[in-house]
Amino acid sequence: MYNFKAFRDIINQNRKRVVDYIGETFINRENGRAKPVTGPGICFFCGAASPATREHVLPRWAFDKDPRRWFSTTINGQRQSYEKNTVPCCQQCNNEVLNEMEKAVNTILTGRDIKTDPLTDREMEAVIAWLELIDYKFQVISTTRRFVAHKDHGFIEYLNDFPISVLDPAFDYSPNKVLQVLRAGLRRMGVKSKAKRLNSLVVFKTHNASFYFFHNINDFIFLEMPHKGVALFYYYQQEFESPEAARDAAMEKIKADY
């Protein structure tokens, strides 16, 4: 099983640097306008300057390397391709840390009948760590990407240069709240043990033919991967007394969204 210590150390040692950079570069404004983004940027995991690679928000194996897979943001309704949604990342974080984590989770979920061979607690912890990483990457995307235009209403001059996350009602339109949630996501990834979070993860066997995904930042994620025969539902904050209680709550969310 992959050892997540290297990943946790990178996150814990560099999270202040990363959040400070995001706040100064993408959240803070001058004279009511967004600051122009200058310079080569940083790796959003370790903070290294001039990142040479890009990390997919969802690894390509999760959506079966299908370039037609896409999602739309709830803020501006714009379609986003999983294939093209990436965050800047240095080579060490990408190749030596994140890639090894994703390979480990891919191995856990491949060629397995979840019904007859359920995940062990240690495997559940690995999947949880991976899903928390996905949430963080979506936070980075929504915090560093400008609103620009709405799918139905077109260009909106007043809003065009705001980060998408600042316009999310879940954040009370507050830049400070956006950064607070970002810090919380990084702290969550830096926690050594996920043992107390096991009841927040629901693992389903699925026979559906179609890939499906929905996600609320800092709230929950649902990821259905038919090529793996598995669907995952995870609550990022909410805790449950039993796996059955979590499953019932997850099913309510799934029924509402499907």
pLDDT digits (tens, 9 = 90+) for 38-73: 888 999 999 999 999 999 888 888 887 666 654 545
Burial code (b: 16+ CB inside 10 Å, e: under 16) for 63-79 equals beeeeebbbebbbbebe
- How far is it, in rounded angstroms, from Cα 96 to Cα 125? 20
Question: Over 80: is that where the pLDDT of 74 sits?
Answer: no
The three-state secondary structure class of 226 is: coil
Residues facing residue 212 across a β-bridge: 224
pLDDT of 49 reads 94
- DSSP conformational letter for 119: P
- How far is it, in rounded angstroms, from Cα 229 to Cα 110? 9
pLDDT of 45 reads 96
Do 175 and 27 meet the contact criterion of CB atoms below 8 Å apart? yes
- Dihedral sign computed on CA atoms, order 157, 140, 252, 68: positive
Q: For the residues of 141-176, what is the DSSP string, one character each?
A: HHHHSB--EETTTEE-TTTTTSBGGGG-GGGTT-HH
Confidence at 87, pLDDT banded by 50, 70, 90: very high
pLDDT tens readout for residues 130-178: 999 999 998 998 899 776 655 555 656 666 777 777 777 777 778 889 9
Of 246, 172, 181, whose CA–CA distance to 217 is shortest?
181
Confidence at 76, pLDDT banded by 50, 70, 90: very low
pLDDT of 149 reads 54
State the angle between helix axes of 175-190 and 121-144 in degrees (0 to 180), rounded to the nearest 10: 150
Question: Over 50: is that where the pLDDT of 27 sits?
Answer: yes
pLDDT tens readout for residues 182-225: 999 999 999 999 999 999 999 999 998 888 888 888 999 999 99
The two structure tokens encoding residue 245:
């209680």
Of all residues in the chain, the percent with pLDDT exceeding 90 is 59
